[in-house]
Amino acid sequence: MNSILLKSIVVFFLLASIPSVSEARTISQQATIPPFLLNTINMMFNMSGKVKLRANIIDHASKYLGTPYRSGGTKPGGFDCSGFVRYVFAEYGYELEHSSRALSVKGETIKKEDAKPGDLVFFAAGGRVHHVAIVYSNFGNDLKIIHSSNSKGVCIDSVNSSAYWSSRLYCIKRVI
């Protein structure tokens, strides 16, 4: 809410600083925006490269919601879990392995509360990694993943709301 209020104030300030038609400046008298205000605007309306990348990855992954599960699948006709992750990340120049186990040793290990969209979540049973998903969102105590499930295909699940997923959570890795 504070972000919306701050953006509204900045927009109001910008609109208030634009001259009316009767006060229109000539082309040689261009208006300048003070550097501190320009930096604030850039921070508010321009996301960093990694934030944009994370948003793009989630947006791209979401296009495949409902795609069926296919063992060994790596294409939009049907994905397995690592095939889905690999396909989505390949769109942005990442070459990832087609194996959840092999992927689980890549990247930096992240605490659950620090997980961001685009991070990879691994699940294991008996200490053996068997599934990988992409962090979709992580607000409060609600870690959501987008993944290719063998029962539902590409879907979004809440790890904390599922006894199955929460009991098998193995680690979270950052590869971006």
Q: 113-145: per-residue pLDDT in tens?
A: 999 999 999 999 998 999 999 999 999 889 999
pLDDT in tens, 56-70: 999 999 999 999 999
- Which candidate in 60, 81, 98, 155 is catalytic? 81
130 belongs to the catalytic site:
no
Report the b/e string of 138-161 with b at 16+ CB within 10 A: beeeebbbbbbbeeebbbbbebee
Q: Which helix (H) or strand (E) holds 124?
A: strand 120-125
Q: What is the mean pLDDT of the chain?
A: 84
147 belongs to the catalytic site:
yes
Q: Where are the domains of the chain?
A: 2-45, 49-174
**Lowest-confidence segment of 45-49, 52-56, 125-129 by average pLDDT:** 45-49
Radius of gyration of the chain (CA): 22
What CATH number has the domain spanning 49-174?
3.90.1720.10
